[in-house]
């Protein structure tokens, strides 16, 4: 029995006992036991990691603690003990006296209890238990500046600290005070969320997938920030994540959920974090196999309020060989997705101030093709979008979605009898691991992984030669990620070429043949995956490699936040450990005045880095 399990129950900050939260599904007329008898404890200063697949009940468990689940039928059983300043109270006090146990049906007494509980929890929410939501975009008020939102929260809870003090704590410069949420990138928005959550001095922080959509650099910085603030004020953390490696490294203990129940608990170092399956492919690629050629691609977006154009992609060049998986990595906002959209001509002309360069595919110049000649090529180039739900028509059943894709470009499909068409669509679903029963479902009835599989089935129906995969597994749980990766590898083995966009370094290393590293709209290094992850030349790539290998002992090589935009010379100078600690004054002067414009002339053969003083 470990130490925490042997503690007296009065020593816990939070103790959840046999929690039951049910939902009633109108379509099937059945009760769904989202949380079904969950129990766990969190001690003062402890971080408990809650892991599990999508739909396992993690977020519903956390929302139940703060009474953010309402009716239908909602919380139907259990006890939640919360302790502060020696006072221990049951947040579900009185529940057992008003719940009709049969199927968790709500009674009049239950509705009255819910109203009373809501009033009681209003005093606790934010002040004593804080919550960082997964979707920061919907949690921040789009009509208020960062300063206004922080000031409002501080005043509401009668705190004497200022908005600027909290920006400093989360390592954001003063200029962010006057920014609106839509002006923030993912990392900055999450830092603001942390400031809003912690400025009330809570004793417990619930972090619900707070780093899910962030790149590896920003993810590491956010998790380190949480740890530093935890040490400063001694709060406890309920860390919810589908990323088992995050829980293993940043939690003291873990509880693993499946189908509404906790199936496994223990010390975090014992958590299984099996790596992604490595791609076993002995194929060799030659320069003559160039399948897609991108040369000096530039995409500048219109800037709001008359400022300079945003250089999202600024002179990017690379080649992808036929049949390979080419990886594109970099921080959020570096231009990865914009490259993918530009290749497929999916950027609205009204957004663009400048689009130039060359994208060659099958001896055709994509950027200059008129729409009537581009359309026949679209079946050969397809895109897997980051949000699987947004790319599916919510009003169409899965069968209709597949039929639409198959009939759009596969002309012979339209000539087949209905029976043969149906059998073909069933076979497409089977190839992506879904049974025939999914044919009659709508997208809103599917989980994230199921939506992704339907999207892959649609792509299989078109049979493209080239696929741009934009963060295809970023929001999926560990097991679902494994299944999707296997599907993508199978598609690749049958000859389809991939541009794989991701901030997941481990996945890129195990899946891709060649890799390009992006920073602020430019490619700073390109080479084989072994070049990039074993012999990096650019200081930025070297930091990414250290993050992948979990080499954080050298604190001097942690990546600090950007201090300025649009630097002259090297764009990485303000964050470069070599520039700040190793180079001479003469060398620094060169970095300040001269940008290293690496043309990557031998891009199919060479390992190249855009750096004046690359690593040895």
Q: pLDDT for 96-143, tens place per residue? A: 656 554 444 555 666 666 667 667 777 788 788 999 887 776 788 989
Give the CATH number of the domain where residue 451 resides: 3.40.50.300
Residue 84 has pLDDT above 50, yes or no: yes
Reply yes or no on whether the pLDDT at 338 is more than 90.
yes
Average pLDDT, the chain: 83
Is it the case that residue 73 has pLDDT exceeding 70? no
Residue 400 sits at the vertex; the CA angle it makes with 399 and 401, to the nearest 5 degrees, is 90
Outline where 354-417 has alpha helix (H).
Answer: 371-374, 398-409, 411-415
225 in Cβ contact with 169 (< 8 Å) = no
| pLDDT of amino acid 104 | 45
Asked if residue 509 belongs to a domain, the reply is yes
- Assess whether 554 and 450 both reside in one domain: no
CA 515, CA 501: separation in Å to the nearest integer? 10
- Over 70: is that where the pLDDT of 163 sits? yes
Q: Are 551 and 455 contained in the same domain?
A: no
Lowest mean pLDDT among 265-269, 413-417, 474-478: 474-478
413, pLDDT greater than 60 = yes
3-state secondary structure of 550: coil
SS3 readout for 149-183: HHHHHHHHCCCCCCHHHHHHHCCCCHHHHHCCHHH
Terminal Cα distance for the chain, rounded: 50
Q: Do 487 and 571 have their domain in common?
A: no
Asked if 605 and 597 count as a contact pair (C-beta separation under 8 A), the reply is: no
The three-point CA angle 353-356-357 to 5° equals: 160
Nearest Cα to Cα of residue 216 among 387, 332, 50, 313 = 332
107 lies in some domain: no
Q: How many domains is the chain partitioned into structurally?
A: 2
Q: Does residue 178 belong to any structural domain of this protein?
A: no
The phi, psi pair for 79, rounded to 5°, reads: -135, 140
Instruction: Mark whether 337 and 403 lie in a shared domain.
Output: yes
Q: Which two tokens stand for residue 126?
A: 């934010």
**Is residue 498 one of the residues assigned to a domain?**
yes
Out of 536, 566, 591, a domain closes at: 536
Are 469 and 552 in a shared domain?
A: no
pLDDT reported for residue 566: 64
CA distance 321 to 505: 21
What is the pLDDT confidence band of residue 453, given thresholds at 50, 70 and 90?
A: confident
Residues 377 and 469 both lie in one domain? yes
Confidence of residue 88 (pLDDT cuts 50, 70, 90): confident
The reply to whether 472 and 596 lie within a common domain is no
Please state, for a pLDDT cut of 70, what percent of the chain lies above it.
84
Tell whether 419 and 491 lie within a shared domain: yes
pLDDT digits (tens, 9 = 90+) for 292-321: 999 999 999 877 655 677 888 999 999 999
CA distance 401 to 333: 31
Mind giving me the DSSP string for 118-134?
A: HHHHHTTBTTTEEEE-S
Task: Check pLDDT > 90 for residue 43.
Answer: yes
Residue 531 within any structural domain of the chain: yes
461: Cβ–Cβ under 8 A, 6 or more apart, which residues?
Answer: 402, 405, 406, 410, 413, 425, 428
Flag whether 424 is in a domain.
yes
| Separation between Cα atoms, residue 117 and residue 59, nearest integer Å | 19
Given 519, 536, 553, which residue is the final one in a domain? 536
Q: What is the pLDDT of residue 360?
A: 93
Identify which of 593, 588, 569 has the alpha carbon closest to the alpha carbon of residue 578: 588
For 66-70, 104-108, 135-139, 583-587, which range has the lowest pLDDT when averaged over its residues?
104-108
Residues 400 and 507 in one domain: yes
**Is residue 416 domain-shared with residue 524, that is, in the same domain?**
yes
CA-nearest of 401, 481, 394 to 446 is 394
The answer to whether 1 and 63 have CB atoms below 8 angstroms apart is: no
Residues 402, 546 within the same domain:
no
Put simply, whether the predicted model's pTM sits higher than 0.85 gets the answer no
Rounded (to 5) percent helix, strand, coil in the chain: 40, 25, 35
**Cα–Cα dist 597/315, whole Å:** 9
Tokens of 423: 């059998």
Contact present, 103 and 31 (Cβ < 8 Å)? yes
Say whether pLDDT at 518 is over 70.
yes
Are the C-beta atoms of 535 and 528 separated by less than 8 Å? no
pLDDT of residue 553: 44
The predicted pLDDT at position 271 comes to: 86
| pLDDT of amino acid 357 | 94
pLDDT value for 41 = 95
pLDDT at 169: 86
Average pLDDT value for residue range 347-360: 88
Has residue 460 been placed in a domain? yes
Please tell me the predicted confidence (pLDDT) of residue 102.
Answer: 42
Please state which of the ranges 112-116, 135-139, 242-246, 251-255 shows the lowest mean pLDDT: 112-116
Edge-to-edge order in the sheet of strand 608-609: 381-384, 466-470, 497-501, 325-329, 514-519, 522-528, 608-609
Q: In the prediction, which pLDDT does 95 show?
A: 64
Largest Cα–Cα distance in the chain?
79
What is the per-residue pLDDT for 463? 86
pLDDT tens for each residue of 366-412: 999 988 888 888 889 999 988 777 788 889 999 999 998 888 766 67
Mean pLDDT of 555-575: 69
Domain-ending residue, one of 482, 513, 536: 536
Domain of residue 590 covers 541-609
Answer whether residue 249 is part of any domain: no
Residue 519 has pLDDT above 70, yes or no: yes
- Residue 488 above 60 pLDDT? yes
Q: What stretch of H or E contains 522?
A: strand 522-528
Identify the three-state secondary structure at position 303. coil
Residue, of 102 and 259, whose pLDDT is higher = 259
Give the least confident one: 241-245, 329-333, 505-509, 602-606. Answer: 602-606
pLDDT at 410: 62
Higher pLDDT pick, 207 / 71: 207
Q: Report, as an integer, the average pLDDT of 319-328.
A: 94
Beta strands 497-501; 30-42: pairing state: unpaired
In this structure, are 384 and 463 located in the same domain?
yes
Whether pLDDT at 288 is above 80: no
């Amino acid at each position: 029995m470990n130490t925490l399990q042997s503690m007296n129950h009065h020593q816990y900050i939070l103790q959840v006992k046999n929690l039951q939260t049910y939902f009633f599904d109108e379509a099937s007329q059945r009760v769904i036991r989202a949380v079904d008898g969950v129990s766990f404890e969190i001690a003062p200063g402890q971080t408990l990691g809650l892991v599990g697949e999508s739909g396992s009940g993690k977020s519903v468990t956390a929302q139940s603690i703060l009474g953010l689940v309402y009716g239908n039928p909602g919380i139907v059983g259990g006890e939640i003990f919360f302790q502060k300043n020696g006072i221990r109270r049951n947040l579900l006090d009185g529940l057992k006296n008003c719940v009709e146990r049969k199927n968790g049906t709500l009674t009049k007494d239950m509705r009255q209890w819910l109203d009373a509980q809501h009033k009681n929890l209003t005093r606790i929410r934010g002040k004593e238990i804080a919550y960082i939501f997964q979707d920061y975009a919907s949690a921040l008020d789009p009509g208020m500046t960062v300063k206004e939102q922080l000031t409002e929260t501080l005043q509401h809870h009668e705190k004497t600290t200022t908005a600027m003090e909290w920006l400093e704590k989360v390592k954001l410069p003063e200029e962010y005070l006057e920014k609106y949420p839509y002006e923030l990138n993912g990392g900055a928005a999450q830092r603001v969320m942390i400031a809003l959550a912690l400025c009330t001095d809570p004793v417990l922080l619930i972090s619900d997938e707070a780093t899910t959509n962030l790149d590896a650099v920003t993810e590491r910085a956010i998790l380190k920030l949480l740890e530093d603030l935890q040490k400063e004020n001694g709060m406890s953390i309920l860390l919810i994540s589908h990323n088992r490696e995050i829980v293993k490294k940043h939690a003291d203990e873990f509880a693993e959920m499946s189908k509404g129940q906790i199936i496994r608990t223990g010390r975090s170092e014992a958590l299984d974090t099996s790596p992604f399956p490595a791609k076993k492919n002995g194929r060799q690629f030659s320069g003559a196999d160039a399948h897609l050629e991108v040369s000096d691609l530039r995409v500048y977006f219109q800037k709001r309020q008359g400022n300079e154009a945003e250089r999202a992609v600024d002179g990017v060049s690379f080649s992808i060989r036929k049949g390979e998986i080419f990886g594109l990595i970099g921080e959020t906002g570096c231009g990865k997705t914009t490259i993918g959209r530009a290749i497929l001509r999916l950027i609205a002309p009204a957004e663009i101030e400048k689009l130039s360069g060359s994208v060659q595919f099958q001896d055709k110049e994509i950027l200059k093709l008129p729409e009537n000649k581009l359309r026949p090529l679209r079946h050969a180039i397809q895109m897997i979008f980051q949000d699987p739900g947004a790319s599916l028509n919510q009003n169409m059943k899965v069968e209709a979605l597949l039929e639409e894709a198959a009939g759009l470009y596969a002309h012979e499909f339209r000539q087949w009898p209905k029976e043969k068409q149906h059998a073909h669509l069933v076979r497409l679903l089977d190839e992506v691991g879904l049974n025939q029963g999914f044919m009659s479902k709508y997208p809103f009835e599917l989980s994230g992984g199921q939506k992704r599989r339907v999207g892959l089935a649609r792509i299989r129906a078109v049979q493209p030669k080239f696929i741009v995969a934009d963060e295809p597994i970023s929001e999926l749980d560990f097991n679902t990620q494994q299944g999707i990766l296997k599907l993508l590898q199978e598609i690749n083995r049958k000859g389809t070429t991939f541009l794989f966009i991701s901030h997941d370094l481990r996945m890129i290393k195990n899946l891709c043949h060649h890799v390009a590293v992006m920073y602020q709209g430019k490619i700073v290094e390109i080479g084989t995956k072994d070049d990039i992850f074993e012999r990096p030349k650019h200081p930025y790539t070297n930091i990414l490699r250290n993050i992948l290998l979990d080499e954080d002992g050298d604190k001097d090589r942690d990546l600090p936040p950007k201090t300025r935009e649009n630097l002259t010379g090297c764009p990485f100078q303000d964050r470069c450990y070599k520039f700040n600690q190793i180079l001479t004054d003469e060398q620094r002067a060169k970095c300040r005045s001269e940008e290293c414009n690496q043309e990557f002339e031998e891009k199919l053969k060479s390992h190249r880095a855009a750096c004046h003083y690359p690593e040895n």
